[in-house]
Amino acid sequence: MPTPIKMPALSPTMEEGTLAKWLVKPGDTVSAGDIMAEIETDKATMEFEAVDEGTIASIAVEAGTEGVKVGTVIAILAEEGEDVDEAAAAAPSGDEEPAEEKPARDESEDKSEPAKAAPRESAKPAGASVDTDTKAPAAPKDDSGERIIASPLARRIAEQNGVDLSTITGSGPRGRIVKADVESAEGGSAKSAADTSPPKDKDGAKSSAKAPASDHGAPYEEEKLSNVRKVIARRLTESKQQVPHYYLAVDIRLDALLDLRKQLNAGLEADGVKLSVNDLLIKALARALMRVPDCNVSYQGDTLHRYSRADVSVAVAAPSGLITPIITEADTRGLASISAHMKELAEKAREGKLQPHEYQGGTASLSNLGMFGIKQFDAVINPPQGMIMAVGAGEQRPYVVDGALQVATVMTASGSFDHRAIDGATGAQLMEAFKNLIENPMGLVV
């Protein structure tokens, strides 16, 4: 019996995703663990593995398709001994909408599910909505009275856009009209409903040139937002609207930390380890959080979560947008371990290969823009975390040392705090602890 391959839930909050790329084609044989596709979730682009073996009978959802709901059939797998053509003919259309009645968790536990999917939350994320009341129009008939075979989604799109299904040849099984068929026919049908002829020049002749899109005369190209970018936009907007931020800044002398880094790197060179300043700052923030545990909290409505370890989320700029992989147990990890783990996570983030457990959670965040020459900035809190530390570049500045004016390497750090969870005096204690650990860095290695 053919096995339907369904769109998996690759993160707890995933409701839909973009089928970015197929790595298999009809006729290919797959085994458990083979990578079949790349799927863009609300967080990152992730690989989609097969858990059954068989032959790909058909691809129901084409690469590049956006907004594919979790549970939608995206391909059909023929088992050993099955006729691939028969399995493909018996397959449902890929643009059939998944049933809404069954809870999402039932779907992830379906034994026929050919993907490793993370459990999904029962509640939809803020802003998400599913139109469960809209029903597809009744199946139309052609001039001879024969019923036109089309998927419910294809019929709905055709009705909304005034497309005559009787003029379309279906590309699905048994000539079934699917979403792609309607969309490819929309251009021609739309022209019959409105005058879309090219503009005429001053002599009345039709012009073949297409004017570029512009806003108030400024030309532009339209680019669709990725799922990751949409989530970033939503979450940061919610943070600035709902979280009462306050900001505390301190100037920190870096000379002692830079000297310690130089010594440590000299001793670790034979092991292939090279510590960055950011590695030491991660450790400093983690230790500061343990010294001021009232800042190592998250705001959870009517409750606070107080954490017994420091998991530091580190902001990384990836092609798809900002993401924050987590250095877990940063307060007890050695500096070499932090450095190696950070390099691995940053590389995976840039390649879009982070797993959910590598970027979800964290007890506080660190964002460093010093490598761009930024002197100081205020970062946006990543809820439900209670704070984020923003650090700028270390630069030569006049600095008073033991009552005398000297030139020192100084960095400005700015902490953003959630006033619902962390009082101003408590936030100031964390900034003081962070400064002391950096200016007296032996506390980072013992």
H or E element that contains 313? strand 312-314
Least confident of 129-133, 212-216, 379-383, 416-420: 129-133
Q: For tokens 């012009």, what's the residue?
A: 207
Torsions phi, psi for 445 (to 5 deg): -115, 0
Least confident of 33-42, 190-199, 281-290, 411-420: 190-199
Phi-psi region of 438 (alpha: psi -120 to 50; beta: other; left: phi over 0): alpha
* Residue with more model confidence, 389 or 360: 389
pLDDT at 308 over 70: yes
* Residue with more model confidence, 54 or 194: 54
Topology alike, domains 3-108 and 229-444: no
Query: What is the pLDDT confidence band of residue 142, given thresholds at 50, 70 and 90?
Result: low
Supply the residues annotated as catalytic.
Answer: 419
State both tokens at 327: 């250095």
Residue ranges per structural domain of the chain:
3-108, 134-194, 229-444
Share of the chain above pLDDT 70, in %: 78
Looking at domain 229-444, its CATH superfamily turns out to be Chloramphenicol acetyltransferase-like domain (3.30.559.10)
Mean pLDDT of the chain, nearest integer: 81
Mean pLDDT throughout 78-102? Answer: 61
Number of Cβ within 10 Å of residue 110's Cβ equals: 13
Query: What is the pLDDT confidence band of residue 117, given thresholds at 50, 70 and 90?
Result: very low
Query: What is the pLDDT confidence band of residue 414, given thresholds at 50, 70 and 90?
Result: very high
Q: What is the CATH number of domain 3-108?
A: 2.40.50.100
Class of domain 134-194: few secondary structures
Q: Express each pLDDT in 150-167 by its tens digit.
A: 776 777 788 778 888 888
Tell me, what's the pLDDT at 140? 57
**What is the value of pTM for the model shown?**
0.61
